[in-house]
Amino acid sequence: MLIHNADRRMQIYGALLLLPAAVLLGTFAYLPTVATLINSFFLPGFRGAPPEFVGLENYAMLVEDATFWKVARNNLLYALGTIPTSIALALGMALFVNARLPGRGLVRMAYFTPTILPMIAAANIWMFFYAPQIGLFNKLLGALGLSGVNWLGDPGVALTSVIVMTVWKEAGFFMIFYLAALQSIPPELKEASDLEGTSRWSFFWRVTFPLLMPTTLFVLINALINAVRVVDHLFILTKGGPNNATNLLLYYVYENAFSFFDRTYAATITVVILLVLAVVATLKFTVLDRRTHYQ
Amino acid sequence: MTAMPCLNRQRGRSMNPDNNNQGQSPEPSLRHQPAGQQRGSRERQRIRLEAVSKQWGDTVAVDAIGFDVTPGEFVILLGPSGCGKSTTLRMIAGLEQASAGRIHIGERDVTHLPPGDRGISMVFQSYALFPHLSVADNIVFGLRSRKVPKAERRERLARVAQLVDLEAYLERKPAQLSGGQRQRVALARAIISEHPICLMDEPLSNLDARLRGEMRREIKALQQRLGMTVIYVTHDQVEAMSMGDRVILMQDGGIVQDGTPDELYDRPATAFAAGFIGSPAMNLVTLAAAADGAVIDGEPHCSVAAHEAKGHWLGVRPEDIRLLPADAPGVPAEVIDTEYLGADSIVSLKVGGQRLRARLEGRPELAVGSACCLQWRHEAAHFFDAGSGRRLAITGHDLAAPSGRHRFASGGARATAATAVQDGEARASSNHAGNDSSGVNR
């Protein structure tokens, strides 16, 4: 009886310890998710009328929505443009600053600076690079006698411009993770393979890269989440234009919710994004995890 | 050392284009070879260091050391931490560049060659196993780097795995192995390369004591069976004494003594060497002048050496000291305490103002504070210069001399010991009295 009581008390004690985190997660993560899901089955009620339940009608509308498909395609291109590039760049930079080189600390800091800048500030800096007449890039091109490009105004170039900026912003951040992982690899491994005359290239692919896999997986998930989370630089740079050429999913959600006041349609798009993300993350963890060595 | 693997096969393939054995015999290696071939390849395993130094900024880690390693020899680099032994090994491996001096392996000057071209393998203290690879992949890692064909890789793997008894674990990851098994994988990786020279950097220091003893014997047996030339770094004198054909004792980046384990034990070159070898270490006491010769400082009654020894150090190994009743001739002493170790006991003694330790068999019944008398043979007394610590060519007195100027035959010694027991004062360690063996590994 006494033991039973003590046991119960320990359980309550444990539950109490979990409570703060559970409350925070519940209110700010799970509750909104469920609310969004419910919202997506309704039409917004205007002028005080109660929302009307329409079942999957919103989803049917979404499938018909040409803008949605364009935005989704943009986002896919954006993801394909930013994720591999920024990861490869991050790994390259990490390998570079992990080596013995003069002024290593300075270089590391320089690589990390874009990460420290707030998105809005970074986007503002890039506005000056991209601006059609006074912009840095066009000035440089002009000095070489080339006609400038309307970096953010030309529908064919604008998305690429946004991608380049994102890579610049993210690579430094991912580099830090790679750098930490590289420094946890014991130097004897390199020495042992040197004694066998293993080339640098071969050592990288046979030892370093596999040992960095957990980091790569982590960075990959992060990069993916970031790719569908872009709102702030679109605000400053393009506002999704021209003609939705740079419009991305979350910005489209924002537009629907706060410009067109169609909150339930915004909820519908959000649910679709969540579903896609969940599927991709599950795939990654099940397929890649099996091949990943965790120490 | 007759067992000699055909190490030149691997060398021919990977590093020595002038080697004419290439592709000669497809028969398995790690086998005996005709003597003629053997001599040719063995000459290529000679390692020679000439005035090799290493410094980082103002710090001198290794100071112009030189030595030769004969093929097939098991050489120990012994010393306390920070003495430069590991740096020396790493310079031989090529993992560290020598600041000055030359390193030769065989006829080649390898001072500036990259590690992979030197024809050596190495076992690291941390084993340096690749955590994401299976045991099998770890072992053949170097063979893949050297582009050894798959069939041969498999064949060599099977042979080596059997040699180090790892056949059942080839599919496991290093994290799933015990410390001793990981050690074997590291060994296997070194052996499979069939390089004639193997460097080992404190390979046993991560193992527990029981396993260490086992691996010590195993490594030594493997080395003899394969005829490898091994340079082995350790700070453990037991490893050095039991495994080494030759021990190079280092201190502060220099070589203190270079000799066989017997030489290090029987004739330590300096007071440092005397203190480093043996457990417990050799007793070192200062000598003072007295009327009839040098005496232990603070104990003016019994002269232990001639006048020339005064002011210097006397060294006596604990196992060379015999305890006799207080009325026997010898150095008067007082028992401070005894530490029972099972097979023997360490007795702390006070002579004058100085402390000595003696190793006695069994469990002597000695009361703390009781008086006794110490004896040792004249050849058990070592003398070292008080300033430089160098060994001095002085012979000590035979302390048992007043009771008869003959060396004890073993029977006589036993008789003496028996008398001592009867006297009830002390039981002496008799095995050293008439026994000339150095008794390193008792």
- The pLDDT value recorded for residue A283 is 85
Q: Is residue A82 part of a domain?
A: yes
State the best of A193, A195, A198, A208 to mutate against chain B, taking most chain B CBs within 10 Å.
Answer: A195
Instruction: Search chain B and give the residue with CA nearest A195.
Output: B116
In sequence order, the 6+-apart residues with CB closer than 8 A to the CB of B162 are none
Domain that holds residue A7: 1-39
| A239 falls within a domain | yes
Banded model confidence at residue A289, pLDDT cuts 50, 70, 90: confident
Q: Is the pLDDT of residue B436 over 70?
A: no
- At residue A179, does pLDDT exceed 50? yes
Binned at pLDDT 50, 70 and 90, residue B232 comes out as very high
| Same domain as B378, residue B297 | yes
CATH of the domain at B140: 3.40.50.300
Is the CB of A193 less than 8 angstroms away from the CB of B141?
Answer: yes
pLDDT value for A112: 86
In a domain, B244, yes or no: yes
Instruction: For residue range A160-175, list pLDDT tens digits in order.
Output: 888 888 898 888 899 9
* Same domain membership, residue A29 and residue A65: no
Would an 8 Å CB–CB cutoff place A196 in contact with chain B? yes
Cα angle, residue B125 at apex, residues B253 and B136 outer, rounded to 5°? 145
Q: Which residue of A has its CA nearest to B131?
A: A295
The residue among B235, B266, B297 that closes a domain is B266
Q: State whether B350 and B262 are in the same domain.
A: no
CB contact residues (below 8 A), chain A span 34-53, against chain B:
none
- β-pairing, B303-305 with B293-296? antiparallel
Question: Sorting pLDDT into bands at 50, 70 and 90, what band is B434?
Answer: very low
Which pLDDT value is given to residue B304?
A: 83
pLDDT of A232: 78
How many angstroms separate the CA of residue A110 from the nearest CA in chain B?
Answer: 29
Q: pLDDT > 70: what percent of chain B? A: 80
At residue B393, the pLDDT reads: 84
Closest to B93 measured CA to CA, from B61, B109, B129, B117: B117
Same domain, A1 and A83: no
**Cβ pair B393, B385 in contact under 8 A:** no
A126 and A88 in a common domain: yes
CA B208 to chain centre: 19
Give the pTM: 0.75
Residue B440 in domain: no
Q: Are residues B331 and B411 in the same domain?
A: yes
Calpha distance B415→B418 (Å, rounded)? 5
Pair (B106, B119) in one structural domain: yes
Is B32 inside a domain boundary?
no
Same domain for A123 and A24, yes or no, is no
Q: Are residues B219 and B289 in the same domain?
A: no
Instruction: Give yes or no for A197 touching B (CB within 8 A).
Output: yes
Q: What is the ipTM of this complex?
A: 0.74
The answer to whether residues A34 and A62 belong to one domain is no
Q: Is residue A203 part of a domain?
A: yes
Highest mean pLDDT among A133-147, B12-26, B424-438: A133-147
Tokens of A158: 């604008």
**Which chain A residues have a beta carbon less than 8 Å from that of B120?**
195
Q: Which among B131, B173, B193 has the least Cβ separation from residue A196?
A: B193
Supply the pLDDT for residue B44: 63
Decide which of B208, B234, B266 is a domain's last residue: B266
Q: If pLDDT is split at 50, 70 and 90, which confidence band does B366 have?
A: confident
Whether residue A295 is predicted with pLDDT greater than 70 in this model: the reply is no
Q: Does A117 lie in the same domain as A256? A: yes
- Provide the pLDDT for residue A2: 61
Of B226, B250, B266, the position where a domain reaches its end is B266
Q: Which two tokens stand for residue B31?
A: 């086998």
Say yes or no to pLDDT of B257 above 50.
yes
Q: In what order do the strands lie in the sheet with B254-259?
A: B120-123, B197-201, B229-234, B74-78, B246-251, B254-259
Task: Count the domains in chain A.
Answer: 2
CB A238 within 8 A of CB A160: no
Interface membership of B128 toward A (CB under 8 Å): yes
Q: Are residues A34 and A169 in the same domain?
A: no
Kindly state whether residues B286 and B254 are assigned to the same domain: no
With a pLDDT cut of 70, the percent of chain A lying above it is: 97
B103 and B159 together in one domain: yes
B221: closest CA of chain A, how far (Å): 24
The verdict on A173 and A110 lying in the same domain is yes
Q: What is the pLDDT of residues A58-113, one digit of tens each?
A: 888 888 888 888 888 888 999 999 999 999 999 999 998 888 888 888 888 888 88
C-alpha dihedral sign at B291, B293, B298, B301: negative
Structural domains of chain B, count? 2
Same domain, B306 and B195: no
- The band of B409, judged by pLDDT with boundaries at 50, 70 and 90, is very low
pLDDT of residue B401: 53
Q: Does B86 touch chain A (CB under 8 A)?
A: no
In-domain check, residue A233: yes
The CA distance from B120 to the nearest CA of chain A, in Å, is: 7
Both A130 and A194 in a single domain? yes
Residues A181 and A247 in one domain: yes
Tokens of A51: 């929302």
Q: How far is B2 from chain A (nearest CA, A)?
A: 27
Asked if B146's CB is within 8 angstroms of A197's CB, the reply is yes
Domain that holds residue B61: 45-266
Segment B378-383 shows an average pLDDT of 88
Residue B329 has pLDDT above 60, yes or no: yes
Q: Which residue has the higher pLDDT, A44 or B90?
A: B90
Separation in Å, CA of B256 to nearest CA in chain A:
29
- Band (pLDDT 50/70/90 cuts) for residue A117 is confident
Residues of B in contact with A192 (CB under 8 A): 122, 124, 128, 141, 189
Identify the pLDDT of residue A3: 65
A98 in a domain, yes or no?
yes
CATH of the domain at A116: 1.10.3720.10
Residues A66 and A178 in one domain: yes
C-alpha span between B328 and B349 (Å, rounded): 16
pLDDT over threshold 60, residue A145: yes
Clarify whether residues A35 and A155 are in a common domain.
no
- Residue A51 within any structural domain of the chain: no
From A235's Cα to the closest Cα of chain B, the distance in A is 45
B56 interface with A at CB cutoff 8 Å:
no
**Tens digit of pLDDT for each residue in A216-244?**
988 988 888 888 887 777 877 777 778 77
- The answer on B69 and B151 residing in a single domain is yes
